[in-house]
Structure 1
Amino acid sequence: MNAPHILLLEDEGALARALDRRLRRDGYTVAVCENIANAKLAARRRPPDLAVLDLRLPDGYGLDFLDWLRGEIPDIPALVMTAYGELDDAIAAMRLGAVDFLKKPLDLDALHRVVADALARETPGTRSARDTPTDSAPDTALIGNSAAMRELYAQLDRIAALGTGEAPPNVLLTGETGTGKDRVARLLHARSARGAHPFVQVDCAALPQDLVEAELFGHEKGAFTNAHRARRGLLAAAGEGTAFLNEIGELPLSLQAKLLTALEARTVREIGGDTERAIGAWFVAATNRDLAAMMAAGDFRQDLYYRLNVLTLHLPPLRERGDDVLALAEHFAARTAERYGRPVPDIDAPARAAMRAYAWPGNVRELRHVIERAVLVHAEHVVEVAHLQLPMPANADGPGLGTGPDEATPTLADSERHLIERTLAETRHNISAAARRLGLSRGALRYRLEKYGLTGD
């Protein structure tokens, strides 16, 4: 099968080269164009399977090119790259058929996931029910056949079928950090009737505290200092698609009442506005925090909790998934080797035993990082137990690196703190690099640094 062909329209040379390298490493062919004129020639010379384009270009506006491209290739999916302050442009792009947008500065791992999602989508109106969630794009697929995962697959199918109508039931995803809640949210969206519409992810922990309200709900021109033009909020940007409220437990208490009103009335009022704007999105929220404990402490509104918790999906931790850890390890090893042009290594028996015994406090995210490091730094043809560099309990006698149910077993908080400390040491206390390695936003990592008293380090 021929590799998908991508048309990349970006005039900033360094960024274009970085995107080109990553897309080619992921197995795509790429035509890089720095202006609209060249992009039209490239599209006519070889029609692309996907267009990735910037909005501000030397010889015109990216949306004009997108409008032209949709006339040439009606069903082509397109991704739009937007800088801060260009949310209205992203909404206009989606009206022209763009399936998603990428916020600058770009995360190359996010680029990989969004491109795979866009290429995996079928023409609206022709989507068919899939038998298993693993038919999805590589970075949104769920892997595992344990009893816990089979139950999750069944619940996911049932809930996805309910994401229809004007007011579908809200969904709350729960589970520890690293269990894949964002992946499940994307699967719910893709497998529902809303899959052809936008998927907008709102990372509540990552939004700057002084901009959370404006980002979520939008604002009118002049509503506050630096509000130089009106902007729609992220909730409205989801349109008839899905609004994913990630890390909802981090939303400031002062805004929880306004979100509750939006969920109940299905309308939003921009800051400084005097009219209500209808919102048609399906709301999916996720948290790794104990919302019941937060309610008891007065940190989370009880009425908002019950409004969000209409349907619940709990994601099992990796330690409860049996041999799924081995299937995931093999998947990550193969993906990493393919991405970086290395041979796919085997995983020897002691390494498999160590992975089965280890508690994986960071769950699937931690496993992915461990395997990626082992393949890239240590393993040539075989991943051995020493390559995993798993922490050894003080009372461990052998390679079984896990902990049993005794007094020496660390708590989840102990394990999370240890993982953060180890990652900070490995990245020489570079917060951005540590957040990327842990799969967290900078805001989420800073929250944990404060939680564990690591800010002084």
Structure 2
Amino acid sequence: MPRILIVEDEDIIRSAVRKLLQHAGYDVADARSVEEAEREHEPDQFDLIISDLRLPGAAGTELINRAPNTPVLIMTSYASLRSAVDSMKMGAVEYIAKPFDHDEMLAAVENILASKAPSGQPGDRPDDRTDNGEGKDPAAIMYGECDAMQKVFSLIRKVAPTETTVLIQGESGTGKELAARALHLLSPRAAKPLISVNCAAIPESLIESELFGHEKGAFTGAVSARTGLIEAADGGSLFLDEIGELPAEAQARLLRVLQENEIRRVGSTQSRKVNVRMIAATHRNLKAMTRTGEFREDLYYRLNVMQIRIPPLRERQGDILGLAKRFLKRQGEKMGKPDLQLSPEAMRALERHRWPGNVRELENAIERATILCDGDVITPALLDLDSESHDEHIPETLVEGNNEQTRSRSGDAATDLSLEDYFQHFVLENQDRMSETELAQKLGISRKSLWERRQRLGIPRKKSGN
């Protein structure tokens, strides 16, 4: 049984990860800091260390030096993504961004332990899968019993072992990043990094520097040369989520990467060769965007070599209860309520709901109900789905640049959702004079949440001035 050490100063996260791994069959120990880990445990005697990047005292990356024989998985927030990439250059085997999906964490752990196992020997893991791609399966990372998801799994199995560029299409919350992780883990590049980037979450002014890197003095604030995310993924895979949000100049530079397998840092005159498998994802209709000039047609055809469509949850009727029960079991164990059950009425409510937020919305509903439940039975009232039961879902993938009609339909369909109305009116009235960061702060949400709500309501982002 593999031994795993968790080093995390936040009690809730440390406890949740410990319970998750223990339930998966691992022998787990934990500590609040690097110093405590060395004082109470012998880090180099573990099979894997999972550490937060920022800790009181020494940084989590210090464990790379103090336990040289043990692989280190770094946990970090998206805001610290650059530091996570730097930590991989220092010797970390992988990073995972918070908040992470539990299946994503388990898949990362299994992949690291499989790579650590001796060649030709099965990894000592709970499911005893072999350490090559043939022993893994998309169904171990994503859940889906319906025919639509089985077709997705079959396509992933066929495409993953190749070097083909893949475009994943699907609405927000359907699990596009999990599909990208499955493609990476089943590929010959599984032992190398998978770098995930949400193109919509990076300010437009920084996107080129983040992706391609920059030289010292390339712009104000560039006090030293930095490696870009594409270069950091060399030998592995690069997952570009919401690629439809890339500005025009970055699209042109990305096309060169796909055509020539080389990058040029901002401020540099020299090109560098890279060996990266590209996986892109979007909820938007890229082909329609090429007609309006929002997306380069040549880049679209370079990306759209193989397309995988992740169906929305409303098209996976047979998976709704299965997913709900998985989430309920996970949340119940996490919160010390292992006997929770869904009432028959709650199950019917789950099946009737349209799930505009897809799997992510379902998981949030189950988590909320688990927190509020005082007994052992989840009722429809705890799920709190009635407020959206009448909300007609408008597919986000049909957005073609001009969203006025979509916005009008969305507003009509959500007349009773006062919070959604407030959000829509506030953004439309203020986005010309406020940046995305200022809008998010005024609304009391993160930039990522602001972006996701824009997509749901069909409100385009004013790119000038952001």
Q: TM-score, normalised by structure 2?
A: 0.77
2:265 counterpart residue number: 270
Is the contact between residue 256 and residue 301 of structure 1 (CA under 8 Å) also seen in structure 2?
yes
Select the residue among 338, 347, 358 that pairs with 1:343.
338
Partners of 1:441 and 1:206 in 2: how far apart? 6
The runs of 5 or more residues in structure 1 that have no matched partner are 136-140, 163-167, 394-400, 404-408
Partners of 1:89 and 1:197 in 2: how far apart? 15
Taking structure 1 as reference, are residues 420 and 114 closer, same or farther at Cα in structure 2, changes over 3 Å only?
farther
2:189 counterpart residue number: 194
1:157 Cα shift?
0.4
1:421-454 residue CA offsets vs partner (Å, 9 max, x unmatched) = 658999xx99589867xxx824623744894499
Select the residue among 383, 387, 399 that pairs with 1:388.
383
Select the residue among 44, 47, 55 that pairs with 2:45.
47
1:391-425 residue CA offsets vs partner (Å, 9 max, x unmatched) = 367xxxxxxx578xxxxx55346669859965899
1:444 counterpart residue number: 451
1:184-239 residue CA offsets vs partner (Å, 9 max, x unmatched) = 11111111111111010011000012111100000001110000110010011112
Taking structure 1 as reference, are residues 153 and 267 closer, same or farther at Cα in structure 2, changes over 3 Å only?
same
Partners of 2:85 and 2:357 in 1: how far apart? 37
2:435 counterpart residue number: none
2:232 counterpart residue number: 237
Partners of 1:188 and 1:222 in 2: how far apart? 38
* CA-atom RMSD in angstroms: 3.6
Taking structure 1 as reference, are residues 66 and 258 closer, same or farther at Cα in structure 2, changes over 3 Å only?
same
Taking structure 1 as reference, are residues 232 and 176 closer, same or farther at Cα in structure 2, changes over 3 Å only?
same
Is the contact between residue 242 and residue 284 of structure 1 (CA under 8 Å) also seen in structure 2?
yes
Q: Secondary structure at the match of 2:195?
A: strand
Q: Which amino acid aligns with 2:181?
A: R
1:27 Cα shift?
5.0
Select the residue among 63, 66, 89 that pairs with 2:64.
66
1:128 Cα shift?
4.8
Trace 1:86-101 onto structure 2 (pairs within 5 A).
86=83, 89-93=86-90, 96=91, 98-101=92-95
Taking structure 1 as reference, are residues 421 and 282 closer, same or farther at Cα in structure 2, changes over 3 Å only?
farther
Q: Which amino acid aligns with 1:130?
A: G
Taking structure 1 as reference, are residues 450 and 131 closer, same or farther at Cα in structure 2, changes over 3 Å only?
closer
Partners of 2:59 and 2:344 in 1: how far apart? 56
Partners of 1:338 and 1:444 in 2: how far apart? 32
1:153 counterpart residue number: 153
Is the contact between residue 176 and residue 317 of structure 1 (CA under 8 Å) also seen in structure 2?
yes
Taking structure 1 as reference, are residues 431 and 34 closer, same or farther at Cα in structure 2, changes over 3 Å only?
same
Partners of 2:240 and 2:460 in 1: how far apart? 27
Select the residue among 255, 260, 266 that pairs with 1:260.
255
Residue 116 (str. 1) matches residue 121 (str. 2): no
Is the contact between residue 5 and residue 46 of structure 2 (CA under 8 Å) also seen in structure 1?
yes
Q: Secondary structure at the match of 1:169?
A: coil
Taking structure 1 as reference, are residues 298 and 391 closer, same or farther at Cα in structure 2, changes over 3 Å only?
farther
Q: Which amino acid aligns with 2:451?
A: A
1:117 Cα shift?
3.1
Partners of 1:420 and 1:224 in 2: how far apart? 45
Taking structure 1 as reference, are residues 7 and 248 closer, same or farther at Cα in structure 2, changes over 3 Å only?
same
Taking structure 1 as reference, are residues 435 and 120 closer, same or farther at Cα in structure 2, changes over 3 Å only?
farther
Q: Secondary structure at the match of 2:114?
A: coil
The runs of 5 or more residues in structure 2 that have no matched partner are 23-27, 120-130, 396-405, 427-438
Partners of 2:271 and 2:195 in 1: how far apart? 20
2:394 counterpart residue number: 411
1:351 Cα shift?
2.2
1:291-314 residue CA offsets vs partner (Å, 9 max, x unmatched) = 122111111110110000001000
The size of the alignment, in residue pairs, is 411
Trace 1:37-436 onto structure 2 (pairs within 5 A).
39-44=37-42, 47-53=45-51, 65-71=63-69, 73=70, 76-79=71-74, 83=80, 86=83, 89-93=86-90, 96=91, 98-102=92-96, 107=98, 109-110=99-100, 115-121=105-111, 122-124=113-115, 125=119, 126-130=131-135, 132-135=137-140, 141-162=141-162, 168-378=163-373, 380-391=375-386, 401=389, 409=392, 411-412=394-395, 418=414, 422=419, 431=440
1:373 Cα shift?
1.3
Is the contact between residue 33 and residue 58 of structure 2 (CA under 8 Å) also seen in structure 1?
no
Q: TM-score, normalised by structure 1?
A: 0.78
Partners of 2:276 and 2:215 in 1: how far apart? 21
Partners of 2:151 and 2:85 in 1: how far apart? 40
1:280 Cα shift?
1.0
Taking structure 1 as reference, are residues 186 and 364 closer, same or farther at Cα in structure 2, changes over 3 Å only?
same
1:342 Cα shift?
1.1
1:155 Cα shift?
0.5
Q: Name the % identity.
A: 32
